[in-house]
Structure 1
Amino acid sequence: MVILNYNGAHFLRKFLPGVLRHADGARVVVADNASTDDSLGLLRAGFPTVEILAFTENLGFCEGYNQALARLDSPYFVLLNSDVEVQAGWLRPLYTLLHANPRIAAVQPKVLAYDNPTLFEHAGAGGGYLDELGYPFCRGRLFDTLETDRGQYDDPRPVAWASGACCLVRATTWRDLGGFEPAFFAHMEEIDFCWRAQNAGYEVWYHGGGTVHHVGGGTLPKTNPRKTYLNFRNGLALLFKNAAPGELAGFLILRVLLDWVAGLRFLAAGSWQEAQAVGRAHLHFIMRLGYWRRRRKLAKPRLLASQRPGTYAGSVVWAYFGQGKKLFSQLLLP
C-alpha cells in the first residue's frame, strides 16, 4: 500500500492511524515528494512501522507513483491518497474480486465525501465513466452535482476507470502498461491507465462493498488555474492517446470545440485566469503533438466507444448543460 505525500503532514497525522488499523496485513509505504513541511519528521517519530521512500524533488503524482511502485515487489498495489479516511473492511472485497479474476487490472471502492459523508465524492464516487469525447463522470457525480448515497451504487460492476485516490491494481498489468503517463504530472492519469488497460484486453471494476471518505483538493483546490490547465491539457491527450483510429478525428474536433465553450464560460464568469489556462492547455498539447503521437503508438488504441464498458454513447456535457440531466440514472446507462 503506497501513500504518495506532498506537504500532507496534517493528513498523515489525521488519517494514517486508521490506514494502519485497517490495512489487513498490507505493507504500508509513504512515498514523499520532497515535502517541505514536517511530513518526514512526523513519520519517523510517530509511525515507526511505516516504510518511507523519500524523493529529493517533487516528481508529481504520476512519476511519484511510477518510481515508488518500481521499487516494490508485490502481486498487488494499493494506491491511496493521503487525504483519504478508510473504513473497517474496505480492502477485503477489492482484493477478493481482483484475486478471483485475472482479467481485472484495477478496482476501486465506494468514494464518499469526508466533509459530508452522505454524499458521493468527485474523485471516483460510485465508479468512473467516460463519454465518447473522453469527458469523465461517475455514478453518483455529474460535474458539480453530487448524489446522496442510499446504497443505490453498492453493486460490483465493470467501469471505465478506477479512482486514483484509492484503488487496488494488479502489479503485472501495471508493469506491462508502464504505469502512469509521466507527462500528465497529475490529473486524469488513472483514467489514461484504465483506458490503456481496456485497450489491452483487461477489465476495470468498482466494488461498493468497501467504502472510503475523501477530502479532495488536498494538493490543489477545486478552483485553481493550474488544476484547470492540467485537466484540459491532459483531457486532450487522454482522448488523443486512446480513442480508436476510426473515431479519433471526429471526437477530437468536438472535444476542442466544447473545451473552447468552457473557456468562454470562464470568461463570461470573470474567471480570466481559468480561461487563459484552457488556452495554454491547448497550446501546450499542440506543441508536444509529436510526443503524444509516439505515446499513442505505444498505447495501441483499438476499442470503439461502443465496445468499452462504462462509456456513454453521446456527450455528457450536452446531457448535463443542454438537456438538464443532473443524475447518473437520467443518462440511461446500464
Structure 2
Amino acid sequence: MASPDASPAVAIGDDPASSRSGRFAGPDATADVAVVVVTYESANDLEALIASLRVEAAGQRLRVVVADNGSSDGTLAVARSHSDIVAIETGGNLGYAGGINAAMRAVGDAGTILILNPDLVVVPGAIAALRERLRHSDVGVVVPRILDADGSPFTSLRREPSLLRAVGDAAFGSRFASRPGAFAEVVHDASAYEHPHPADWATGAALLIDARVARAVGPWDERFFLYSEETDFLRRVRDLGRTVWFEPGAVVRHAQGGSGASVDLERLMAVNRIRYMRKHHGPITAAAYRGAVVMHEAARAWMPAHRAALRTVLSERTWADLPRASRHDETGSAA
C-alpha cells in the first residue's frame, strides 16, 4: 500500500463495459459510488454537474441520487430528464441535513457515498482519487480541493471549534493567516491545500464517505438545517476512530460565482455555531463560546448581515424565527 502522505494515482479500471458508456447505475445495481445531490432552486447548475459526473462514470459505477427540497424553478424536471438518475422529492424544504437523509434512503447497494453541492463540477479523475485515498485503513471520509469559479482555491478546511479559536477568528478573521492553529478555526495557510493530510472537518460541499462509516455514524442531525451539520457529522466520524483526509489530487470547482448568503442564513450560521457547542460541550463552555460569537458579530456590526446576526445571538427568543425544515401538506402548502 502506498504511503498515505502521497497523492494517489487516479486510475481505477476494474469496472464493466456499461460504466464506460457514461451512464449511471440503476437503483437495483451495485455501485462503486452513490452520488448524493441535495437541490433547491438549482436548475441553472445541475446540468453542468451531471455532465461532469458522466465523464467520471466512464471508469467506475456511479449511481446519482438527486433529492429536491421543493424547488419551484424546474430543478426536479432537469433531474428527471435523465432516465438513469434517481430523482426524489423530499416533501418540503428539509434543509441540507434532511435532504441528505432523504437521499440516503435511496442510495441502494454502494461502497461509498459522495455528497456534492449542485453548483459544483467534478474535474476528471477526482472521484477515483478520492476513492483511492479512502482505501487506507483508518480513513472514513475524504474531501477534495475546491476551486472557486475563477480558479482560485477555496478555504474549505476547518479545525474543531473551540473557545480560543472562536476568539482568535473574532479578533483577526482572515488576517494573520499564519497564526497558531489554536487561535483559528478556518485553515487559511495556503500550504495546507497543497498536500494530503488529515483534517478535523471541511465544508460539506463535497465529501466521499465510506458507506460502512455512514451507516455507523447514522443520520445527519436535522436540527441544524443548514450550517454546522457537517461539523457535527465529521466529529461523529472521528469519534468512531476514523479519520477525515484532505486529498488535493481530487478537485471540484464552483460552476459560477456565488451570490452570497442572505441575512437570515448569516443569522442561522451564527446560531448554529452555538447549538453545536451546546450539543458537544457543557453549559459553561457553551456560554463562553456564545460570548465569543457575540464578539465576532459585534466587531463586524457595521455590515447589515452581521448586525442582524448580533441581535439574533443576543436574543434567544428570536431563534424560533430562523430558517428551519418545512414539509408540504397534501395540498402542497408549507406545513
**TM-score under structure 1 length normalisation:** 0.71
Q: 1:160-179 CA distances to partner (integer Å, 9 max, x unpaired)?
A: 01331011012222222223
For residue 233 of structure 1, report the CA deviation from its aligned partner: 1.3
For residue 287 of structure 1, report the CA deviation from its aligned partner: 7.8
What corresponds to 1:121 in structure 2?
A: 154
Unaligned runs of 5+ in 2: 1-34, 178-185, 321-335
Which whole-Å CA distance do the structure 1 matches of 2:284 and 2:255 have between them?
37
Task: Compare CA radii of gyration and give the structure with the larger one.
Answer: 2
Verify the 8 A CA contact 1:121 1:214 in the aligned structure 2: no
For residue 183 of structure 1, report the CA deviation from its aligned partner: 0.5
What corresponds to 2:102 in structure 1?
A: 67
Verify the 8 A CA contact 2:65 2:107 in the aligned structure 1: no
Give me the CA root mean square deviation: 3.2
Structure 2 counterpart of 1:280, from 294, 312, 320: 312
Does residue 15 (structure 1) correspond to residue 49 (structure 2)? The answer is yes
Decide whether aligned partners of structure 1 residues 49 and 162 sit closer, same or farther in structure 2, where only a CA change above 3 A counts: same
Structure 1 segment 194-209 matched on structure 2, within 5 A: 194-209=234-249
Unaligned runs of 5+ in 1: 289-334
Decide whether aligned partners of structure 1 residues 287 and 32 sit closer, same or farther in structure 2, where only a CA change above 3 A counts: closer
Structure 1 segment 148-159 matched on structure 2, within 5 A: 153-159=193-199
Decide whether aligned partners of structure 1 residues 254 and 151 sit closer, same or farther in structure 2, where only a CA change above 3 A counts: closer
What corresponds to 1:211 in structure 2?
A: 251
Verify the 8 A CA contact 2:159 2:187 in the aligned structure 1: no
For residue 230 of structure 1, report the CA deviation from its aligned partner: 1.6
What corresponds to 2:73 in structure 1?
A: 37
Secondary structure of 1:78's counterpart equals strand
Secondary structure of 1:194's counterpart equals helix
Does residue 76 (structure 1) correspond to residue 112 (structure 2)? The answer is yes
What corresponds to 2:324 in structure 1?
A: none
Verify the 8 A CA contact 1:107 1:167 in the aligned structure 2: yes
Which whole-Å CA distance do the structure 1 matches of 2:224 and 2:72 have between them?
23
Q: 1:124-176 CA distances to partner (integer Å, 9 max, x unpaired)?
A: 2xx332353365999xxx64889999876332211001331011012222222
- Among the aligned pairs, what percent are the same residue? 24
What corresponds to 1:132 in structure 2?
A: 162
Stretches of 4+ moved more than 6 A in 1? 144-152, 285-288
For residue 61 of structure 1, report the CA deviation from its aligned partner: 0.5
Structure 1 segment 185-196 matched on structure 2, within 5 A: 185-196=225-236
Secondary structure of 1:111's counterpart equals strand
Letter in 2 for 1:237: R
Question: How many residues matched?
Answer: 270
Structure 2 counterpart of 1:232, from 256, 270, 293: 270
Verify the 8 A CA contact 1:130 1:137 in the aligned structure 2: no
Letter in 2 for 1:130: E
Secondary structure of 2:219's counterpart equals coil
Structure 2 counterpart of 1:180, from 220, 228, 235: 220
Verify the 8 A CA contact 2:114 2:209 in the aligned structure 1: yes
Verify the 8 A CA contact 1:33 1:54 in the aligned structure 2: yes
For residue 270 of structure 1, report the CA deviation from its aligned partner: 5.0
